[in-house]
Amino acid sequence: MPRGLFAQELKKKVEPLAVVMLLPMFFTYSGLNTRMDMVSSWTLLLIALGILIASIAAKFGACYLAARISGEDNRTALGIGALMNSRGLMELIIINIGLQKGIIGPALFSMLVLMAIVTTMMAGPLFEAVYGRKARESGELGALRAGEEDTDLEPSPTISGRV
């Protein structure tokens, strides 16, 4: 969406409906399609664990390596990897489409929902462990928040062309 008055007004009108009604309905729909009883054998549990490990290694590892290649220090790269590893809503949208189209079955759907839940829930504590605690102690996170509060959201006269 382009920024501006139209986008702000649209957000004011649509966001309450989406957050209060549509988002809970989507999560309920996904939950009703999740059949954890289908992941009942040790073989399927091992496959689910393999999916979880592969997904963490792929996304966390790729984001960590990309941050390191871009010149970030190790702690910051770990923090980026921890936060980017979260899957949540986009993952659920994609696997719901896959289930509806018959691309994946109910058992795999349940394994992927489990993976999305675990990776989303681990993002906060993992970020706190690898980055947040030390950044707060050093005052780094406080400095970021103070910088955000000082940001002027209105365009300055020189930027908008008015002098």
* Residue 10 pLDDT: 84
The alpha-helical segments, DSSP class H, found in 70-156 are 74-84, 88-100, 106-127, 133-138, 140-150
Which of 122, 49, 133, 118 lies closest to 81 in space, CA to CA?
122
Find out whether 52 and 118 touch, Cβ atoms under 8 Å: yes
CA atoms within 13 A on the CB side of 125: 5
Closest by CA position to 44, among listed 112, 119, 95, 132: 112
Rounded Cα distance, 130 and 6, in Å: 40
Can you give the pLDDT of all 163 residues of the chain as single tens digits? 678 888 888 888 888 888 777 777 777 777 777 788 888 889 999 999 999 999 999 999 999 999 999 999 998 999 999 999 887 778 888 888 999 899 999 999 899 988 988 998 898 899 888 887 777 777 776 655 555 554 444 444 444 444 3
| Integer Cα distance of 31 and 18 in angstroms | 18
Identify the pLDDT of residue 93. Answer: 87
